[in-house]
């Protein structure tokens, strides 16, 4: 009798080499694992380019996309957190499928300043500068992903050199600031929940 072959694991399956098994959906809100994952991937690629001096002409595109997407997700996450702290969230409606950083960031900053009085507009200069440059280079979140636009023109037209180390340093500084805002808003939400619990106990 022929021995049955073990079925081949599916594309999104675990396997016996446990250290290669990534855990997903293990947190109630795993948005942060997405945002952090894109940043870490970009930083690993930048580190490879810097240490090896190789592959920069190929890896520049995923580096740009990964950091841009990380920034977009983090800004949207901040908007959602801040909306939970406002008394009038319906006054700040926005399209969740909007990829335009030039509209997402002003909304995020407005909400941050409304719910957390520890910040001033001048605190966000690095984020404002990064958002402006990303928007000018890739307004529709497509130029970092595709070599041609829908009209057939070249993506990133007019840009000839990008220093991935410098790009990573500036993006990292903006990301660190946004991460701090994210953590601060989460703290305020926890405090609000605790206070509501105390009020409801009477």
Residue 202 has pLDDT above 60, yes or no: yes
In a domain, 3, yes or no: no
Domain that holds residue 185: 27-200
Residue 105 domain-assigned (yes or no): yes
Helix crossing, 125-137 with 101-115: angle to 10°?
A: 160
Give the list of residues 6+ apart from residue 165 with CB closer than 8 angstroms, or none.
46, 49, 50
Considering the chain, what percentage of its residues have pLDDT values greater than 70?
97
Q: Is residue 22 part of a domain?
A: no
pLDDT tens, 122-177? Answer: 999 999 999 999 999 998 899 999 999 999 999 999 999 999 999 999 999 999 99
SS3 for 139?
coil
> What total number of domains does the chain contain?
1
Q: Is residue 54 part of a domain?
A: yes
pLDDT over 60 at 104, yes or no: yes
Residue 10: inside a domain, yes or no? no
Q: Does the residue 106 lie in any domain? A: yes
- Amino acid 94: pLDDT: 87
- Summary count for the chain: helices (H), strands (E): 5, 0
Read off the tokens for 123.
Answer: 């605190």
Radius of gyration of the chain (CA): 21
Is 57 part of any domain? yes
């Amino acid at each position: 009798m022929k021995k049955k072959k073990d079925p081949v694991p599916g594309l999104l399956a675990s396997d016996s080499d446990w250290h290669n098994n990534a855990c997903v959906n293990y947190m109630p809100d795993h948005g942060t694992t997405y945002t952090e994952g894109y940043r870490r991937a970009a930083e690993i690629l930048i580190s490879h380019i810097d240490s090896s001096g190789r592959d920069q002409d190929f890896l520049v595109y995923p580096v740009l996309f990964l950091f841009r997407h990380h920034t977009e997700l983090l800004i949207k996450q901040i908007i959602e957190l801040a909306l939970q702290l406002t008394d009038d969230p319906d006054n700040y409606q926005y399209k969740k499928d909007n990829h335009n950083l030039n509209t997402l960031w002003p909304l995020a900053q407005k909400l941050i300043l409304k719910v957390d009085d520890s910040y001033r507009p001048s605190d966000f200069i690095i984020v404002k500068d990064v958002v402006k440059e990303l928007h000018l280079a890739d307004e529709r979140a497509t130029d970092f992903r595709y070599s041609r636009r829908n009209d057939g023109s070249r993506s990133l037209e007019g840009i000839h050199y990008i220093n991935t180390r410098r790009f990573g340093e500036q993006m990292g500084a903006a990301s660190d600031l946004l991460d701090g805002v994210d953590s601060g808003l989460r703290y305020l939400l926890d405090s609000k929940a605790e206070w509501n619990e105390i009020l409801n106990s009477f």
